[in-house]
Structure 1
Amino acid sequence: MFKSLSIYLALSLFSIVSFAQISSDTTLRVAKANFREAKRQARLSKQTSRKNMQSAPAPKEMQWFGKAGARAIMPENTLEGMFRALDLGVEVLEMDVVISKDKQVLLAPEPFMQSASVRTPSGTDIPFKDERKHNIYAMEYAKVKQYDVGSKKVSAFPGQEKYKAHAPLLIEVLEQAELYAKQKGLAKPEFCIEFRMIPQGDEVFHPAPAEFVDLVMGIVKAKSLEKRVILQAFDMRVLQTIKQRYPMVRTALMVDGKEEVQDYIDRLGFIPDIYSPYFVLIGKSLVDKCHEMGMKVVPWTVNAIDKVHYFRSLGVDGIVTDYPNLRNQLLSDEPH
């Protein structure tokens, strides 16, 4: 009896020890398996994270349009302003054109001399009420050239450099900008030419649209720049003429009203290459709508770095700015 009990106890003890050993081995195997799985998941997570970082879309690159060259830094629509814009990395030189009495195409912000920034040939200021008496379309270019467009302090741009300057001819700007970029080893610039017109101004302050367009395009074609120019205007008649006569040239519709994009396009009669609204009108839905319609979006005039970041995040294709030096600030803000 005692022998049987001893055998029973021995077998029981063996079973307990064996079960404990089995449980221990199982726990160890499970732990090892869990550890291996955790390592595998960590490895996969790291690979996925690296892949996502590599494939994540970078912020959209934008073209920089220097408004009238570098209007906040240098007198607008001057050769020196265009050169400074190129030095600051501007890819598109934006400029305003008007016509003189002898049919010369020249750069000026309005078809008359502005009181805010121009002095007469005798060096006197122009009263605001007399601006339109200094009608460029009523003057020979030789007379226009005598006005000083660079010396007067401009309240809107207190940091603008001052020097005596004249309103240059369009052909002069195109030639000199090309030469300057080549000498500096810079990329060939594009040129965005805005037709400056005023309501009911035909044949008083400027030619009718057809003649205006032909005068500008005569210069563009003479310099073989059809592929590097953008012609823009608020006046839809100008763009319609360009579309009819020079369909190979890119066009930009400028807008400052709150009408729907489709309404503007319906009135224009075709889809321009660029939709260029006043910057306060821009939102994500407008950008997406324009892209769906096949238009690029280039707002004007963007003059603060936070706005630059914002519009870039919306996916705009370019910005027009008075401060092309913001481009360097944007680059310095980029993670390295």
Structure 2
Amino acid sequence: MKIQVQGHRGDRGNFPENSIPAFLSALKKGVDVLEMDVVISQDNKVVVSHEPFMSSLYMLQPNGKEITKEEELSFNLYKMPYHLIKQFDSGSKGNPNFLQQKKIKTYKPLLSEVLDTVEDFLKEEKIDSIQYNIEIKSEAIEYHKSQPAPEEFVTLVTEVIEQKKLTNRVILQSFDPAILEILHKKYPAIQLSYLVEEKSLEENLNLLSFTPNIFSPFYKMILNEEYVNQVKKLNMKLIPWTVNQPEAIKEMIKFQVDGIITDYPERVIEQLSTNK
């Protein structure tokens, strides 16, 4: 059984997260899937970003000035037009959690730009088509504050995917059951992945009216083969996140999960090749 390698936010261990350079680096390393997050701008553009604000951890203002922890939430992407969002620098500062990440000036791209760039790259390099795993960053307390309501959010994201004719190569994932319910009802052709961080398998699935295609837990929730078997009995693929350390990667391979989401695609690819 082939275990899918998913580049988390592209190749976050080595390049600025959710950036074009990170996605291209992950492709060059040989990932099967590009994982990314999306939020919505004031002018209803689908922006590739993990946070719906400018994170003080790694973002710089257009003039190069730092963003403090206290002020980061005031840079609310849902209240900013995209032309302004694009002026912020998401790569020059680096990320203290990823010390080998290259410091390069880059920006938060639109989902449409990422899809176009990747598709062009695949054609040029004659690489087999890959999949996109797109997380809709949504939580109930943020509806109408840093994001639209679920129905509108889903519509904006799926419009881009349909426009690019990529419905059959996209996985949409979310922690928010409301998002998944709308997708299940309105877009049955799109693969859905349920992201979870805590609670039992049963407790999480009770929050949905259907069984998703993929169950995607925090990797530390997978403690034994029994858990793996429970997921597979329900005909769901099991794709844990975010698996970075060599021992954890080995353990996930041993459990024969269906895919591994990682900040360091090269580590998973290398481990899989030694396991052959």
TM over 0.5: yes
- After superposing on structure 2, the runs of 4+ consecutive aligned residues of structure 1 that deviate more than 3 Å are none
How far did 1:199 drift? 4.2
State the secondary structure of the residue aligned to 1:213. helix
The equivalent position to 2:13 in structure 1, one of 72, 77, 102, is 72
Distance in 1 between residues matched to 2:110 and 2:172, nearest whole Å: 17
Alignment of 1:144-223 (within 5 A): 144-223=85-164
> Is 1:315 aligned to residue 253 of structure 2?
no
How far did 1:260 drift? 2.1
- The residue aligned with 1:91 is 32
- The residue aligned with 1:233 is 174
Distance in 2 between residues matched to 1:319 and 1:172, nearest whole Å: 25
Distance in 2 between residues matched to 1:199 and 1:100, nearest whole Å: 18
- The residue aligned with 1:25 is none
- The residue aligned with 1:273 is 213
State the secondary structure of the residue aligned to 1:200. helix
* CA-to-aligned-CA distance 1:138-157 (integer Å, 9 cap, x gap): 00000000000011121100
- Residues 38 and 48 of structure 2 are in contact (CA less than 8 Å); yes or no, is this contact kept in structure 1? yes
TM-score normalised by structure 2 residue count? 0.97
> Is 1:139 aligned to residue 139 of structure 2?
no
- Residues 300 and 319 of structure 1 are in contact (CA less than 8 Å); yes or no, is this contact kept in structure 2? yes
Equivalenced residues, count: 275
Distance in 1 between residues matched to 2:228 and 2:186, nearest whole Å: 29
- The residue aligned with 1:123 is 64
Distance in 2 between residues matched to 1:236 and 1:327, nearest whole Å: 29
State the secondary structure of the residue aligned to 2:118. helix
Task: In structure 2, give the amino acid aligned to 1:171.
Answer: S
State the secondary structure of the residue aligned to 2:35. strand
How far did 1:304 drift? 1.8
Distance in 2 between residues matched to 1:249 and 1:289, nearest whole Å: 23
- Residues 36 and 48 of structure 2 are in contact (CA less than 8 Å); yes or no, is this contact kept in structure 1? yes
How far did 1:189 drift? 1.1
The equivalent position to 2:239 in structure 1, one of 298, 301, 315, is 298
* CA-to-aligned-CA distance 1:156-214 (integer Å, 9 cap, x gap): 00000111101100011011101111211211110000011244111110000000000
Taking only the aligned residue pairs, the percentage that are identical comes to: 37
- The residue aligned with 2:197 is 256
Q: Which sections of structure 2, spanning at least 5 residues, go unmatched? A: none
Distance in 1 between residues matched to 2:138 and 2:273, nearest whole Å: 39
Q: Which sections of structure 1, spanning at least 5 residues, go unmatched? A: 1-59
- The residue aligned with 1:62 is 3
- Residues 73 and 161 of structure 1 are in contact (CA less than 8 Å); yes or no, is this contact kept in structure 2? yes
Distance in 2 between residues matched to 1:63 and 1:332, nearest whole Å: 13
The equivalent position to 2:226 in structure 1, one of 270, 281, 285, is 285
State the secondary structure of the residue aligned to 1:65. strand
Distance in 1 between residues matched to 2:12 and 2:83, nearest whole Å: 24
Alignment of 1:238-249 (within 5 A): 238-249=179-190
Greater relative contact order (CA < 8 Å, ≥ 6 in sequence): 2
How far did 1:229 drift? 0.3
Task: In structure 2, give the amino acid aligned to 1:80.
Answer: P
